[in-house]
Structure 1
Amino acid sequence: MRYTNGMNTNTDSSGSLDRLAAEEFPVTENHIYLNHAAISPWPERARRAVQAFAEGITRDGSLHFQDWQETERSLRERIRDLLNASGTETIALVPNTSAGLSLVAAGLDWRPGDNVVITDSEFPSNRMPWEALAGQGVEVREALCTPAGDADCEGNILRLVDDRTRVVSVSSVQFGTGRALDLERIGQALSGSDTAFCVDAIQSLGAFPFDLEAIRADFVAADGHKWLLGPEGLGLFYCAPQWLERLHLHQWGWHMAEPFGDFDAREWRPATTARRFEPGTPNTPSNHALEASLSLLQEVGIVRVAERIQARVEYLIEGLSALSDAEFISPVDAGLRAGILNVRFGGRTDKVYQALREGGVQVLTRAGGIRFAPHFYNRYSELDRVLEIVRGA
């Protein structure tokens, strides 16, 4: 995966980062955690943030409401920085990726004969909202992206686009194969057309730089509980300025209205910012957790995070390549991969998986293989232990 911007980089040595990781991730005391493509452990600072919030509301009720709002403002600014967005007015806090993508699917004016282009290896969150439009006469077209290391995924996507394509919606990284898409190529090809570009960024945001200016996405959705190291139940939705008032709304509540905070107003209108997609009360405890988690990623520097993830994936590739029965489902080309490495082991894949789980290694099976997903804090000694278990299974 190419790095698409020059976001903050921490120049501390690897030793300093390793010490920081040891302080922030007590999960490493009991597990070798390589399951960040599913659900990530929280860093210690996220636990402390939620604990402090819980203690405050238990003691004082809503006394610290202004502080909660400041945390929410800080969270939006951190998300803006991660996306390289022009401002926070384009960012909504939503329950999850599915909710964000559904805002687009339900918000457009569809006509019979319209189509949506996705890939053949999308997670259901980026397939079901579009398939649900079949009753309105909308066709879903699936571009060939498998085998992950061979198919011209981006070219296949663009070849399916025609004058009735309303949306191209793709995952930045495919959840099963780990194939990273060249979002800039797709975004540039669609720029200036009538086709909107939508990105499910859940498998890359927090692991690799993301540059809206270069990618030219109209919509981006992502959950906080994977590479962003945050809680479940809180995600983000980016809506480009030109689309903010073009998406039809289907949810209504006090939080999305103007004048904001005037609960007696009988005349109101939806906010002109992305707050229009947030109908009700914020998920304040999760706001505290995700804000703290993002502070860690930005303290380390997202470019440094990406370098360390790539190095760990490379280490696993080199170690597993020595095994005669290792078959890589994920691309091994550094330009096509991200933080996911999916591998089959001939007729012993199930045995390897069981041995890893029994050995305290948290991984999952996906797409017929074992999916390894290390983060920046994983130690090479942990990866050596993983390789030892795989060899001995």
Structure 2
Amino acid sequence: MNPWHDEFPQEAGLRYLNHAAVAPWPRRASAAVCAFAEQNLRVGARDYPQWLQLEQRLRQRLARLLNAPSTADVALVKNTSEALSFVAFGLDWRPGDQVVISDQEFPSNRVVWEALRPQGVEVVEVDIAGSDPEAALIEACTPRTRLLAISAVQYASGLRLDMPRLGAGCTERGVLLCIDAIQQLGAQPFDVQASGCAFAMADGHKWLLGPEGLGVFYCRRDLREQLRLHEYGWHMLEDAGNYDRRDWQPAKTARRFECGSPNMLGAVALEASLALLEEVGMAQVATLIEQRIARLHAGIAALPGARLLSPQEPGRRAGILTFALAGRDNGELFEALKKEQVVCAQRGGGIRLSPHFYTTETVIEDTLALLHRLA
């Protein structure tokens, strides 16, 4: 019996293998939101101080998950793209500056840097398909490189990079490291201090099992005041509760990036989901995900004409396995899987499967059996 069955009472026959896109909520997140809605119905915001306590618990959970030095280093943001924009349009760029990225990035971690071209910033794309992607990225950094922006895990292939190694390379060259952690945070342990990164960000709706519309932005303490602000409001002020004060300054903490009223509904859900991840423990979460990926890997590798598009080495993967079948159109295969209630995605020239720690053996084996029939 799956010990987390009660947390994920999914519809009979559903094979949910799409956590790299948008994840289901655990029962406790759903219950927390329902209770919050009922409270709003009955008493409105009478107990708002309690809501703020919950928001603080969420910051604490996120700080622990990131191994951030303090909750002061963590901002609650709308999504990864917003946090990336805070960095891209907050740094003081000079014509000729370079940003190094990989050639496998999700659009959010490419477009935001390309938008700097009118300021004379050059975007350098690096091929990371070789045997040593970290070396390729580090070697691409020149004296003009200001920032290396990279996903910890690539969204299509599932390639996991060595963040501490990249961080050490960036530190040696005086380059800032910005990590899009959305495909690692909640699937594998992640450590902003060990990685030596300047910035890191992630959404809550994938491996963190939370809702869309709420994410996290880590900004290293010494860099907070170096990012030019472009959003202003009551919430980002140092003395945020003093509405009569006429002089003001941005908060000294990462709250300076939160211009207005918080997404309290999202906070209620995400705080509950993170409580579950903490109870399971990220080391166990990572182990359970790897077991499921390994089984999918072995089962799909045995299919006639199967082509695995994700790394085969356990140290190079997190929760993503992408594959293609010879003679099968990816779109047609995706639709066939969809009809059988296999929730997955078309990415990177193939079909992407992404189980989480709670995914049952039945879901894995039923999916493999189905693929054998469709191959």
TM over 0.5, shorter chain: yes
1:183-332 residue pairs with structure 2 within 5 A? 183-191=163-171, 193-332=173-312
Aligned residue among 130, 140, 143 for 2:113: 130
2:71 maps to which residue? 88
Give the TM-score, by structure 1 length.
0.93
1:336 counterpart letter in structure 2: R
* Residues 85-132 of structure 1, C-alpha deviations (whole Å, 9 max, x = no match): 111000000000000010000000111100000000100110111000
Distance in 2, Cα, partners of 1:280 & 1:151: 45
Question: In 2 relative to 1, CA 192–152 (structure 1 residues): closer, same or farther, beyond 3 Å?
Answer: closer
1:104 counterpart letter in structure 2: V
- SS of 1:198's equivalent in the other structure is strand
1:8 maps to which residue? none
1:106 counterpart letter in structure 2: F
1:392 counterpart letter in structure 2: R
- Identity across matched positions, percent: 48
The Cα shift of 1:62 comes to 1.0
Q: Is the 8 A contact 1:113 1:137 kept in 2?
A: yes
1:3 maps to which residue? none
Q: CA RMSD in A?
A: 1.1
Q: Is the 8 A contact 2:192 2:200 kept in 1?
A: no
1:374 maps to which residue? 355
- SS of 2:166's equivalent in the other structure is helix
The Cα shift of 1:30 comes to 4.3
Give the TM-score, by structure 2 length.
0.98
Q: Is the 8 A contact 1:352 1:390 kept in 2?
A: no
* Residues 248-282 of structure 1, C-alpha deviations (whole Å, 9 max, x = no match): 00000000012120011100100010000000000
Q: Is the 8 A contact 1:349 1:370 kept in 2?
A: no
- Unmatched tracts of structure 2, length 5 or more: none
1:126-165 residue pairs with structure 2 within 5 A? 126-146=109-129, 150-165=130-145
Q: Is the 8 A contact 1:355 1:390 kept in 2?
A: no
- Unmatched tracts of structure 1, length 5 or more: 1-14
The Cα shift of 1:151 comes to 3.8
Aligned residue among 108, 130, 136 for 2:91: 108
1:42 maps to which residue? 25
Distance in 2, Cα, partners of 1:207 & 1:28: 23
The Cα shift of 1:360 comes to 0.9
Q: Is the 8 A contact 1:116 1:165 kept in 2?
A: yes
1:10 maps to which residue? none
- SS of 1:251's equivalent in the other structure is coil
Q: Is the 8 A contact 1:91 1:238 kept in 2?
A: yes
The Cα shift of 1:32 comes to 0.7
1:100 counterpart letter in structure 2: A
Distance in 1, Cα, partners of 2:56 & 2:293: 34
